Amino acid sequence: MYMKKISVLLMAMCLFFTGMAQEKNLKALVADGNKAYVDFVDVKGNIPQAKEAIVKALQGAEWNRWQLVDAKENADFILKVSVEKKGMNIMSMTSDGARIRVITEVMSIDDKPLWKSKEYQGNASMFTGYAALEDAMRKMVRRALGDELMKKAQ
């Protein structure tokens, strides 16, 4: 009886300390000035311009926390950004999409997931200048990275 309780207690402690170590590791990885490799995933293969938009958003005045590198070997962590375009923007007749969904993940260099954002959707509307991709990138920076990731890494 006591052995079972002790075993459960030890497992709980291991999980707790493993979680704390991962959060500490995450905080160190995403610190200002670290090197990030952007792994871009175009879910449906229909929005190649998203990679440029991601880089622009990460190097823009609103974020610009990390140095972006061209090779995983030179990075401190991998920032995996999955982008999916749905529909067509009828108002501007462009292929920017009526909706762009984005999910952001922080992964270790050996591809172990450390953190994953909620899914955010950029919309083509009068309020966003009919630019769903730009709206999605703003949400990636402000909500996914700014709100979710930075709170988790504190």
Say what the alpha-carbon torsion angle 130, 48, 70, 101 is, to the nearest 10 degrees: 50
Averaged over 43-63, what is the pLDDT?
92
pLDDT in the model for residue 20: 38
Domain boundaries, the chain: 2-152
Residue 88 has pLDDT above 60, yes or no: yes
Of 108, 127, 105, 131, the C-alpha closest to 118 is: 105
How far, in Å, CA of 35 to CA of 52, rounded? 18
pLDDT on residue 128: 65
Q: What distances in angstroms separate CA 31 from CA 7, 43, 56, 74, one per listed residue?
A: 36, 28, 19, 16
- Predicted TM-score (pTM) of the model is 0.78
Tokens of 51: 């990679």
Indicate the fold that domain 2-152 takes in CATH.
Rossmann fold (3.40.50)
Distance CA 136, CA 138 (A): 5
pLDDT tens figures, 121-131 = 988 776 666 68
pLDDT of residue 72: 94
Does the pLDDT value for residue 25 go beyond 90? no
Report how far apart, in Å, the C-alpha atoms of 62 and of each of 37, 82, 113, 138, 153 are. Answer: 19, 20, 25, 9, 18
Instruction: Evaluate whether 79 touches 65 at the Cβ level (below 8 Å).
Output: no
Beta pairing, strands 99-107 & 77-86: antiparallel
